[in-house]
Amino acid sequence: MAALLTPQGRGAVATIRLVGECALLDRGEPALFRAVSGRPLASQPLGRIVFGHWGSEPSEEVVVCRHGDGTTEIHCHGGDLAARRILAELESAGCRIVPWQQLGITETSLLETECREVLANACTLRTADILLEQCSGRLLAAFEALRQVAEAADVAASELLPQIDELLERADFGLHLSAPWKVVILGRPNVGKSSLLNALAGFARAIVFDEPGTTRDVVTAETAFQGWPVRLIDTAGIREAESPLETAGIALARDAAESADCQLLVIDISQPPQPEDRDLLAAWPRAVVVAHKADLPDVWEEKVPAEALRVSSSTGTGLEDLMAEIVKRLVPRVPEPATAIPVTLRQIELLKDARQSVLDGNLAGSRKVLGGLLR
């Protein structure tokens, strides 16, 4: 079997791993791989980095290395074409091409493979550090300890449930270690939502134009606040729409807000309050209220909500405070080091199933479910 280990897209180097007999690369006329030294790959010492050419002319320049565990790694130029060519010729030679996750399942347990996959999807060093701790045995040890408690002959539900609940309390945090938290920006048209997204993201992602209804689709930008990955979502201004297209955009905005982890409700304090502002403040009482355009004269005065954060996208005033508030909402408490955290939906669903079995008085069923965590 063979799999592409590096992500799709252009890069400096692409890496393909072959599991099986490396002599496969010496077969054919010409051979799939021809070392510059002229020696067959199968006769090369383990661990030696071998430079050579791949396939018929025009050939690809590649670097190949054999490992003692029966794997061979092929490193080629990082463009998609080079990697696709090598995979296609390996397949023609009788090799089965699989996703890298499936390649991992043949070598390790499902739990270890899940950990590898979420670690590969970590967006920041901070989340990668936490995931690495889980993948280095923390999660395995916690699941094994939980299974042993469940298998005790005299175990009671009152002993097992708190341990399951403790893991489930960290479930949402664990899922976001490999998927950004979603922060949606709401408000009526022309309050500066797109400008705010650009300022928070640190680059111009959304079009800024002084015309109501400019943003009609959902625009996203990914960034990180204090090391936590965040997907910012700019939405259409919410008002009584004047066209079917704008109506559809407003519907998308409401849907995005409903599914978001945090909402930023933007008001323009340089313009008099509008009925839409009051309606939105009433509809989203838990949103972070952003008193925007704080660099301009404030005409709201005492009508600005007391909890609002004064921000100017133009000057940067208040942006740091806003980022800190967003982090406070998204990650109110960071788990201590050495804390076990479920990191995939499969793990969380199994924990929920085990919990329900305990509540139903089916301890045998909970033992079976918890055993599935260690597959």
Give me the pLDDT at residue 28, please.
81
| Helix ranges restricted to H, the chain | 80-92, 100-107, 110-120, 125-133, 139-151, 157-169, 171-176, 193-201, 244-259, 275-283, 319-330, 345-359, 363-372
- Tokens representing 84 are 């696709």
Give me the pLDDT at residue 267, please.
96
* Angstrom distance (rounded) from CA 3 to CA 87: 8
Q: Cβ neighbours of residue 27 under 8 Å, at least 6 residues apart?
A: 93
Give me the pLDDT at residue 27, please.
84
* Angstrom distance (rounded) from CA 205 to CA 207: 7
Question: How far apart, in Å, are the Cα atoms of 94 and each of 74, 82, 91, 190, 302?
Answer: 17, 19, 5, 60, 75
Q: What is the mean pLDDT of each run of 10 residues along the chain (375 residues)?
A: 82 88 84 92 91 90 88 89 92 88 65 86 93 92 91 80 95 96 92 92 58 55 94 71 51 73 96 93 94 96 95 96 97 94 96 93 87 84
Coil, strand or helix: which one is 209?
A: coil
Give me the pLDDT at residue 12, please.
81
- Rounded to 5°, the CA angle 113-118-122 comes to 150
Q: Which of 67, 63, 66 is closest to 82 using CA atoms?
A: 63
Give me the pLDDT at residue 207, please.
44
* Angstrom distance (rounded) from CA 171 to CA 344: 8
For the chain, what's the residue count? 375
Question: How far apart, in Å, are the Cα atoms of 333 and each of 16, 169, 250, 356?
Answer: 40, 11, 33, 26
162 conformational bin, left if phi > 0, alpha if psi -120 to 50, beta if neither = alpha
Question: How far apart, in Å, are the Cα atoms of 78 and each of 15, 53, 84, 201?
Answer: 8, 15, 10, 28
User: With contact defined as beta carbons under 8 Å apart, do 291 and 300 qualify?
Assistant: yes
Can you name the residues that pair with 33 across neighbouring β-strands?
Answer: 54
**Domains in the chain and their CATH numbers?**
2-104 (3.30.1360.120), 111-170+346-372 (no CATH), 181-330 (3.40.50.300)
The pTM assigned to this predicted structure is: 0.72
* Angstrom distance (rounded) from CA 370 to CA 375: 10
User: With contact defined as beta carbons under 8 Å apart, do 186 and 264 qualify?
Assistant: yes
User: With contact defined as beta carbons under 8 Å apart, do 234 and 206 qualify?
Assistant: yes
Q: Cβ neighbours of residue 372 under 8 Å, at least 6 residues apart?
A: 350
Give me the pLDDT at residue 204, please.
59
User: With contact defined as beta carbons under 8 Å apart, do 214 and 207 qualify?
Assistant: yes
Give me the pLDDT at residue 205, please.
53
Give me the pLDDT at residue 107, please.
53
Give me the pLDDT at residue 281, please.
94
User: With contact defined as beta carbons under 8 Å apart, do 335 and 322 qualify?
Assistant: no
